[in-house]
Amino acid sequence: MAQDSSFAASAETHTPTATKSVAELKQIAAQVRRDIVRMVHAVNSGHPGGSLGCTDLLVALYFKVMKHTPQPFDMNGVGQDLFFLSNGHISPVFYSVLARSGYFPVSELATFRKLNSRLQGHPATHEHLPGIRVASGSLGQGLSVAVGAAQAKKLNGDDRNVFVLMGDGELEEGQVWEAAMYAPHHKVDNLIAFVDRNGQQIDGPTEKIGGLGDLRAKFEAFNWRVLETDGNDLEKLLPTLEEAQSLLGQGQPIMVLMDTQMGFGVDFMMGSHKWHGVAPNDEQLEKALQQLMVEEAGDY
């Protein structure tokens, strides 16, 4: 299908006061989900489950919340909000949102995980793909990177903010808690972190693999401001993002515990760790696309 012009790459600066309606964001999210299942199907490789579950957040951030300039891409992001994807294996959603918001041509999504592609399985910087500021996928490192970037902005007098997404299974990494202790101590209050609390990881339910306990109580004990929301309901997610932003600059970093369903939007993928890193076959792809309808499909 031809690319829908409403999703075409643009050199415009996206501002935090962007006027995208909830209905428009839902259409973009459906298109991104179509991209995800098509990308992983084409190469029989990738991670659709977590990508589908986190689509609404990334769409909300890049099309509504963050101030960012896709082109020309500035690696340092001076004067812009920054986003870091810690759980880099959900690269399909990241690549789709970056392309759809103007960082590189949507047609390049067709090269996902292919030889010599800039869209590798885990985001990396040596391919110089616009929008990627750090290699990620070695779990547990993203919060540290985001804290450092946020602290650098404060030191440089840059008043923009930093966002970071982590998976819940990732919280089993000790480095996460070192960063979680560091940020409040140093009053890194231009940082909003998200945990994708889908309750699943590659080997099964998170509570069976390494129970995380009461995450709200844990982060509050480290002196974070903690919010909770439904990450698959834009009517609930967007007000939470507004509240999180209203709490910035008050001496504490913000943590948003975001409940999602792995595979959200595709009924046979939802809620199961089995779709953590498995691609749909031809028949499953068609079933998925039938559930992810958009008014004007802009498939690459």
pLDDT tens-digit readout, 144-167: 999 999 999 999 999 999 999 999
18: confidence class by pLDDT, cuts 50, 70, 90: low
pLDDT of residue 12: 63
pLDDT tens-digit readout, 25-50: 999 999 999 999 999 999 999 999 99
Residues recorded for the chain: 300
Chosen CATH of 22-291 out of 2.60.40.10, 3.40.50.970, 3.90.550.10, 3.40.50.20: 3.40.50.970
Cα-Cα-Cα-Cα dihedral sign, residues 51, 53, 56, 57: negative
- Cβ-based burial of 118 (10 A; exposed 0-12, middle 13-18, buried ≥19): middle
pLDDT of residue 295: 86
Task: Give the angle 253-255-259 at the CA atoms, nearest 5°.
Answer: 170
Q: Count of CB atoms within 10 A of residue 197's CB?
A: 22
- The single residue listed with the structure tokens 């993002």 is 241
Rounded to the nearest 10°, the torsion over CA 164, 168, 173, 174 is: 80
pLDDT, mean of residues 105-125: 96
10 pLDDT exceeds 60?
Answer: no
Q: Is 127 helix (H, G, I), strand (E, B) or coil?
A: coil
pLDDT tens-digit readout, 187-207: 999 999 999 998 777 777 777
- Angle formed by the axes of helices 282-291 and 22-43, to 10°? 180
- The single residue listed with the structure tokens 């001076």 is 78
What are the residue boundaries of the structural domains of the chain, listed by start? Answer: 22-291
